[in-house]
Copies of this chain bind each other. A is one copy, B any other.
Amino acid sequence: MKQAGSVQQKLRHSELGLSDERVISMYKTMMLARRFDERGQLLQRAGKVNFHVSGITQEPSQVAMGFAMDREKDWFLPYYRDYGFVLSLGMTVRDLLLSIFAKEEDPNSAGRQMPGHFGSKRLRIVTGSSPVTTQVPHATGFALAAKMRGEPSVAIVTFGDGSSNQGDFHEGCNFAGVHQLPVIFVCENNQYAISMRYEQQTRGRICDRALGYGFPGIRVDGNDPLEVYRVVKEARERAVAGQGPTLIEIMTYRVTAHSTSDNDLAYRTKEEVEFHKSKDALPVFRQYLTDAGLWSEEEEATLQSEIRSTIDEANEYAERAPFQSPEDSVRYVYAEEGN
Query: How many A residues, CB 8 Å from partner?
Result: 26
A169 CA to B199 CA in the complex, in Å? Answer: 19
Task: Answer whether A211 and B214 are a contact pair too, CB < 8 Å, given A168-B167, A178-B203, A202-B174.
Answer: no
A174 CA to B168 CA in the complex, in Å? Answer: 13
For residue A176, which residue of chain B has the nearest CB? B203
Partner of A170, one of B170, B177, B199, B214: B170
A70 CA to B201 CA in the complex, in Å? Answer: 31
Contact residues in B for A200 (Cβ distance below 8 Å): 178
Contact residues in B for A203 (Cβ distance below 8 Å): 177-178, 180, 213-215
Contact residues in B for A209 (Cβ distance below 8 Å): 209, 211-212
Task: Answer whether A178 and B166 are a contact pair too, CB < 8 Å, given A209-B209, A211-B211, A212-B212.
Answer: no
- Are A212 and B205 neighbours in the complex by a CB distance under 8 Å? yes
A67 CA to B168 CA in the complex, in Å? Answer: 36
Interface status of A47 (Cβ within 8 A of chain B): no
Contact residues in B for A211 (Cβ distance below 8 Å): 204-205, 208-209, 211-212
Contact residues in B for A167 (Cβ distance below 8 Å): 166-168, 170-171
- Are A170 and B165 neighbours in the complex by a CB distance under 8 Å? yes
Partner of A202, one of B204, B205, B206, B213: B213
Contact residues in B for A177 (Cβ distance below 8 Å): 202-204
Interface residue ranges of A180-231 to B (CB < 8 Å): 180, 199-206, 208-209, 211-215
Contact residues in B for A213 (Cβ distance below 8 Å): 202-204
CB distance from A204 to the nearest CB of B (A): 4
Contact residues in B for A199 (Cβ distance below 8 Å): 178
A211 CA to B208 CA in the complex, in Å? Answer: 7
CB distance from A139 to the nearest CB of B (A): 16
- Are B165 and A174 neighbours in the complex by a CB distance under 8 Å? yes
A168 CA to B180 CA in the complex, in Å? Answer: 23
A205 CA to B215 CA in the complex, in Å? Answer: 11
Partner of A214, one of B169, B202, B212, B214: B202
Contact residues in B for A208 (Cβ distance below 8 Å): 211-212
Interface residue ranges of A294-333 to B (CB < 8 Å): none
CB distance from A140 to the nearest CB of B (A): 13
List of 8 A-B pairs having minimum Cβ-Cβ separation, nearest first: A167-B167, A203-B214, A209-B212, A170-B170, A204-B212, A204-B214, A177-B203, A208-B211
Q: List residues of A whose CB falls within 8 A of some B CB.
A: 165-171, 174, 177-178, 180, 199-206, 208-209, 211-215
Question: Can you list 24 contacts pairing A with B, beta carbon distance less than 8 Å?
Answer: A165-B170, A165-B174, A166-B171, A167-B167, A167-B168, A167-B170, A169-B170, A170-B170, A170-B171, A174-B202, A178-B199, A178-B202, A178-B203, A202-B212, A202-B213, A202-B214, A203-B213, A203-B215, A204-B212, A204-B214, A205-B211, A208-B211, A208-B212, A209-B212
Given A174-B201, A203-B215, A204-B212: 19 more A-B contacts, CB < 8 Å: A165-B174, A166-B171, A167-B167, A167-B168, A170-B170, A170-B171, A174-B202, A178-B201, A178-B202, A180-B203, A203-B213, A203-B214, A204-B213, A205-B211, A206-B212, A209-B209, A209-B212, A211-B211, A212-B212
